[in-house]
Structure 1
Amino acid sequence: MPNILPFRAVRPTRDKVSLIASRSYQSYTQAEREARLDNNPFSFLHIVNPGYKYHKEISGPERFQLVRNRYQEFKEDDIFIQDPKPYYYIYRIINREGEQFTGIIASASVEDYKSDCIKRHEDTISFREETFKDYLKTVGFNAEPVLLTHPENSVLAEIISEITKTRAEFEFTTTYRDTHYLWLLEDEAKIKSIQQEFSAMECLYIADGHHRSASSFLLGEELKNQNPKHTGKEAYNFFMTYIIPEKELRIHEFNRLVTDLNGLSKEEFLIQLDAKFRIENRGLEYFRPKKKHQFSMYLEGEFYSLQLRKSEYNFKDATSKLDAKILYETILNPILGIEDLRNDKRIDYSHGKNGMAYVKGKVDEGAFEIGFGMLPVNVEEMKQIADEGLTMPPKSTYIQPKLRSGVTIYEFQ
Structure 2
Amino acid sequence: MPLIKPFAALRPALAHAADVAAPPYDVMSAAEARRMVEGRPWSFLHISRPEVDLPEGIDPYSPPVYAKARENLDRMLGEGVLVRDASPGYYIYRLTMGAHRQTGLVAAASIDAYDRDRIKRHELTRPVKEDDRVRQIDALNAQTGPVLLACRARSDIDALLAGLVAGPAETDVTAPDGIRHELWPIMDESLIAELTAAFDGLDALYIADGHHRCAAASRVAAMRRAANPDHTGAEPYNFMLAVIFPHDQMRILDYNRVVKDLHGHSVESLMQRLSVAFEIEGAPGPVAPGRPGEFGMYLAGHWYRLALDPGRIPYDDPVGRLDVSLLQDNVIGPILGIQDPRRDERIDFVGGIRGLEALSARVDAGEMAVAFALHPTRMEDLMAVADAGEVMPPKSTWFEPKLADGLASHLLTA
Give the TM-score normalised by structure 1.
Answer: 0.94
1:410 pairs with 2:410: yes
CA contact (8 A) 1:51 1:63 kept: yes
Report the AA paired with residue 111 of structure 1: D
Q: 1:36 to 1:354 in 2, by over 3 A?
A: closer
Q: How many residues align?
A: 411
Q: Secondary structure at the match of 1:181?
A: strand
Q: Quote the offset at 1:54 in angstroms.
A: 4.1
- Quickly say closer, same or farther: Cα 1:230–1:208, change in 2 above 3 A: same
Query: In the TM superposition, what is the alpha-carbon distance from 1:29 to its structure 2 partner?
Result: 6.1
- 1:345-385 CA-partner distances (Å, limit 9, x unpaired): 11111112333222111111111110001111112111111
RMSD: 1.9
Contact 2:33 2:49 in 1 (8 A): no
CA displacement at 1:2 relative to structure 2: 5.5
Task: Give 1:129 deviation, angstroms.
Answer: 2.0
**1:154 aligned partner, one-letter code:** S
Looking at structure 2, the residues matched to 25 and 200 of structure 1 have their Cα atoms a distance apart, in angstroms, of: 32
- Structure 2 letter corresponding to 1:62: P
Using the TM superposition, give the Cα deviation of residue 47 of structure 1 relative to its aligned residue in structure 2, in angstroms.
2.1
- Deviation, 1:162, is 2.8
Question: CA 1:2 to 1:307, structure 2 compared with 1: closer, same or farther past 3 Å?
Answer: farther
Structure 1 residue aligned with 2:126: 125
In 2 relative to 1, CA 2–391 (structure 1 residues): closer, same or farther, beyond 3 Å?
farther
- Supply the distance in 1 between the matched residues of 2:49 and 2:130 (Cα, whole angstroms): 20
**Which residues of structure 2 form unaligned runs of 5+?**
none
For 1:110 and 1:166, the matched residues in 2 are separated by 33
Match status 1:228 vs 2:229: yes
Offset of residue 30 of structure 1: 6.2
Supply the distance in 1 between the matched residues of 2:94 and 2:76 (Cα, whole angstroms). Answer: 25
Distance 2:48 2:252 in 1: 28
Counterparts of 1:345 and 1:255 in 2: how far apart (Å)? Answer: 15
Report the counterpart of residue 304 of structure 1 in structure 2.
304
| Residues 295 and 374, structure 1, Cα contact 8 Å, conserved in 2 | yes
Mapping of 1:152-301 within 5 angstroms?
152-282=153-283, 284-301=284-301
- Which residue pairs with 2:374 in the alignment? 374
Q: Read off the aligned partner of 1:202 and give its amino acid letter.
A: D
Listed one character per residue, the Cα deviations across residues 245-281 of structure 1 (whole Å, up to 9, x for unaligned) are 1121001120100011112211222222222222223
What secondary structure does 1:38 align onto?
coil
CA offset at residue 389 of structure 1? 0.7
1:84 to 61, 79, 86: 86
Segment of structure 1 superposing worse, 55-64 or 169-178? 55-64
Gaps of 5+ in 1: none
Structure 1 distance, partners of 2:377, 2:38, is: 40
How far apart, CA to CA, are the structure 2 residues paired with 1:42 and 1:205?
Answer: 32
Cα 1:32–1:211 shift into 2, 3 Å: closer
Cα distance in 1, alignment partners of residues 323 and 137 from structure 2: 35
Q: Distance in 1 between matches of 2:229 and 2:237?
A: 14
2:240 match: secondary structure: strand
Deviates more, 1:24-33 or 1:140-149: 24-33
- What is the TM-score when the length of structure 2 is the normalising length? 0.94
Residue 213 of structure 1 aligns to which amino acid in structure 2?
A: C
Tell me, in whole angstroms, the C-alpha distance in 2 between the residues paired with 1:206 and 1:285: 36
Q: Percent identity?
A: 33
Bigger shift: residues 124-133 or 355-364: 124-133
Aligned to 2:144: 143
Q: C-alpha distance in 2, partners of 1:291/1:33?
A: 36
Deviation at 1:38, TM superposition (A): 2.5
Query: Deviation of residue 344 (structure 1)?
Result: 1.7
Pick closer, same or farther for the CA change 1:340–1:2 going to 2, 3 Å.
farther
Q: Residue 327 and residue 223 in structure 1: after superposition, are their counterparts in 2 closer, same or farther (change >3 A)? A: same
Alignment partner for residue 67 of structure 2, among 56, 65, 88? 65
